[in-house]
Structures are given as structure tokens and as C-alpha cells.
Structure 1
Amino acid sequence: MRLVLLVLILLVSPLIHGTVYKWVDQDGKVHFSDQPVKNAEVVEFNKNTENQVKLPPPQSQSERNLSPTADKINYSLRITSPTEEETIRSNQGHIAIALQIEPELAASHLLVLFMDGKQQGEAQQSGLFQVSNVDRGEHTFVIKALAQDGKLLASTLPRKVFLHRTIQNRAR
């Protein structure tokens, strides 16, 4: 533990650029301090032990305005309706999907609905989707937020629903 502390002090102290003093007490323990003590000696650090940090040049205001900060938004997407494994009864095969998104969707971003891995309809800004003439059975929905270049920004967890749809037997 003391060795770790000693190494830590030796590594951190050049960053502070203060003078470091080293001394040994009557019990034989080595101590380091930034304050001079009786019988203390100054610790000299090699030039190669100093860290050099180079920062990029500062951006002008016009450069900052041109950078695409809108693509750096961290969206949180959640399908609020229908609920997980909900059974929907619709003889026309209609399913409405509602999305909760935080923060509000940027004007340059779009939402896309996928049913069973296939895109449904066009990309849109609204978090309300309507699909029609869906076959009965189990279906999985995912909604993705995309940038205009198609880059995926966020996605919902898959939502499984079941559609019950009456089929009339026309054969007599």
C-alpha cells in the first residue's frame, strides 16, 4: 500500500510542478512532502517523466456553428402502445403504434417503423404509426430514429404483439 502511495506521489508531483522533499524518519520510513523538513533532500525528476498534453487549437464561433451537433443527440425511444405481448382484435388488420421519445426529435431526424424486420411505410417525424391489412398472428415492431444520411441514432426494444383477425370461410 505504501509503495503504491509512493509511486502515485512520484507520478503526480511533476504535474503540479512543485518542489518535492524526501526524508527518512527515525523508524526508517521514507516520507515525501511539498514542505521542507529537517534533513530533507530535494527530489529531482528526469525530464522524460513529465507528461506533455497538447490541446487542439480552439474553434472559432463560425466553425462551431457548422459542426453537426444534432447527430450527437442521445435519444431514448420506447413503444408505449401496444403493450408487450398484447392481443389486438381487428378484423381489418389495423394496428396503431405509439412512441415516446426524449428529447424531442430534431427537425433533421426521422422515425422509421419496422414490422417483422421489414420497413413499413415512409420515414416520418411523428411518433404515431398506423399499419393496415396486417395478417393475423405474432408480429414484432421496432422503431428507429435515423439521421438524414441513414445513420442509426437510436432504436426501441422489439415489441411483440398478437393480432386476432376473423377470416370468413366463403367456400360452401
Structure 2
Amino acid sequence: MRRILTCLLLILALPASAQIYKYTDANGNTVFTNQPPDGQNAETVELPATNTVEAQPLTTPPSTPAGVVSPASYAVLELTGLPSDEAMRANNGTFSVGVQLEPRLAATHRLRLLLDGQPYGQPSNVPRLQLSNVERGEHSLAVEILNGEQSIQQSASVTFTVQRVNTSSPALRPPPPPPTPKPAS
């Protein structure tokens, strides 16, 4: 299989580096080759010039001066996957939330969560973000879009409650050991 692939690639590269000849064999088949056949009347095939594209000069996007926030460019920026009416059950405090964006996240932008108004986790370009070991109780959560270290847009804050298993609950305690039998007298 590798030989066939190699031969095909070489045949594709031939027009760029060799003369092509065309002739008809004894069975009436048209044959193209890079070597003129002995004893055959072969035509030289003139290939059209290959297409070329000139490299365009690189342009850098205009940068905003330090301290100036660029205008928000996302029409939709909101968190999804958080309950609105009931508490979120997360026994170990780990859960994930989605981020709905329109248009798609720009290549230079990153998403970061704000848990109770404080940055949470590493910035990411994935619209599904995970939280770990969040304490039980009421929290607020928002997502911000970063361009480098600069926040350029923030979603509305969503308030939710985390419900975790209470480890001091009698239902979670191990059962007491069975009573030891009394020696017979």
C-alpha cells in the first residue's frame, strides 16, 4: 500500500519537474510517461502553468491602548446548566456549567468563571467549565471573557444553592460493631 501511495505522489510531482510524453500502446490505450518510448511515435505534452498565489503581507489587528476596554462583541453571553428553582445536588461540590455565546469565541479570547465575585479556575477556550469542591450554601456565578489578562465582557450573575451530603448525618455513620458474646459460665 505504501508503494502505491509513494508512486502516486511521485506521479503527481512529475509535471513540476519533468517532461511528459503521450503515446498509444499496442492495445490502443493512451499512455502518459516521463520517458519517451523506444520505437513509438510520442507527443510532447505541454502543461499549462501552475496556479500561484502571492503571499499577502501579515497585518496585525489594531491594538487598544493600555487601560482602554474594547467594546463588548458578544450578543449572547450566559451560563447554562444551573438550576433556577431548586438546589443543585453536588455531594462532593463538583459540577460543570455551560457557557452560551453568540458569536463563537474569538481565537484570542478565553473564558473564566467568577465564583462569588472572585476569579475561579484557569481561563479556557472551552464553553463547558468545571467547578470543584464548592462549599454548600448559596453562591453567585458569572463568566467573563478575557483578552489576555484584560476582562472585556461579563455575563449576568446567577445565584444558586449547592446541596452537599452532611457527613455528620447518622445515616452516613458506620454501623456499630456487633456485640461480643458473653462467655458461658
Normalising by structure 1, what TM-score? 0.56
Match of 1:105 in 2: 105
Q: Which amino acid aligns with 2:73?
A: N
Alignment gaps of 5+ in structure 2: 1-55, 65-69, 174-185
Q: Does 1:129 align with 2:123?
A: no
Consecutive aligned runs of 4 or more in structure 1 exceeding 6 Å deviation: none
Q: Partner of 2:154 in structure 1?
A: 155
Of all paired residues, the percent bearing the same amino acid is: 29
CA shift in 2, pair 1:73/1:164, >3 Å: closer
Is the Cα–Cα contact under 8 Å of residues 85 and 159 in structure 1 kept in the other structure?
A: no
Q: 1 CA distance for matches of 2:98 and 2:86?
A: 14
- Secondary structure in 1 aligned to 2:112? strand
The structure carrying a bigger helix percent of its residues is: 1
Distance 1:80 1:69, change over 3 A: farther
Superposition map of 1:10-159 within 5 A: 65-68=59-62, 74-75=73-74, 76-148=76-148, 150-159=149-158
- Whether the aligned pair in 2 keeps the contact of 1:82 and 1:97 (CA below 8 Å) is yes
Q: Distance in 1 between matches of 2:72 and 2:117?
A: 25
Q: Is the 8 A contact 2:72 2:153 kept in 1?
A: no
Letter in 2 for 1:135: E
Structure 2 Cα separation of the partners of residues 108 and 131 of structure 1: 23
Distance across 1 between alignment mates of 2:106 and 2:99: 15
Distance (Å, rounded) in 2 between the aligned partners of 1:99 and 1:170: 35
Q: Which has the larger radius of gyration?
A: 2
The alpha-carbon distance between structure 1 residues 125 and 86, as it changes in their structure 2 partners (threshold 3 A), is farther
Shift of 1:170: 7.8
TM-score (normalised: structure 2): 0.52
Question: Post-superposition shift, 1:168?
Answer: 1.5
**After superposition, what is the alpha-carbon deviation per residue over 1:11-30, rounded to whole angstroms, capped at 9, x for unaligned?**
xxxxxxxxxxxxxxxxxxxx
Deviation at 1:121, TM superposition (A): 1.1
1:166 paired to 2:160? no
How many residues were matched structurally?
110
Give the root-mean-square deviation of aligned CA atoms.
2.8
Q: Give the number of the structure with larger relative contact order, counting CA–CA contacts within 8 Å between residues 6 or more apart.
A: 1
Change (3 A) 1:85 1:115: farther
